Amino acid sequence: MSTMRHEFREKSYLTQPTEISSHEISIGAFSVIEATAAEPCIFGRGVTLGHHVTVAASVTLEDNVEVRSYGSIGFGSKLGSSTKLLYGGSVYHGVEIGRNCIIGGSVDTGTVVGDDVTFLGKIVHNYRTPGTFDQLTDGVPSPSPRIRDRAVVGEGAMLFGDIEIGEGAYVAAGMIVKCNVPPGVLYCEQGFIELSKFHGFVAAREKR
């Protein structure tokens, strides 16, 4: 393992703010890191956790990731460098998020998020074949959305199922999305509109 990363190999419940000065890691009070020797958590240099943050086992946080207070990250998820999980944000199991992202709301199991994405909505599985209670709670969920580089998903938007938000696309606040959104397009109540028509008034994220 690189000396630029710190590995947690046992469960840690931190009642006081904690600094790991060798890696410039800062962890707020009442945070939990649910690591084990078999399923460690790996933190890059400059990671910051607010207070009351929960990090499940086998999570990787790359350099300069910030998880604000009351955030939670599920088992096996990975957040790329300089990504921010906003106050109270939730990332569920097996999620992969790229670099320089701003993540709020709820990112459900298995979602893939590219680089330079702003996501302020909610991801919902459709559960068309929910099966038994055990299958619903512990089984393999329905396919999850893929959000490509530089996309923006506005406040309160809901993404359903196996769809793709294209590179540089923009989903307006409050939209319910059950279809693919092409690259470079705004999806709003009027349907699909090319972002180029807004002359920068509405725009996708720029690559950092």
CATH number at residue 112: 2.160.10.10
160 within some domain: yes
Q: How confident is the model at residue 138 (pLDDT cuts 50, 70, 90)?
A: low
3 within some domain: no
5 within some domain: no
Span 20-24, average pLDDT: 94
Q: Which pLDDT belongs to residue 201?
A: 84
Q: How many domains does the chain divide into?
A: 1
50 within some domain: yes
Instruction: Tell me the average pLDDT of the chain.
Output: 91
What residues make up the domain containing 158? 11-198
6 within some domain: no
94-98, 123-127, 162-166: range with lowest mean pLDDT: 123-127
4 within some domain: no
Burial degree of 31 (CB within 10 A; 0-12, 13-18, 19+): buried
41 within some domain: yes
Q: Which pLDDT belongs to residue 2?
A: 47
138 within some domain: yes
Whether 5 has a pLDDT exceeding 80, the answer reads yes
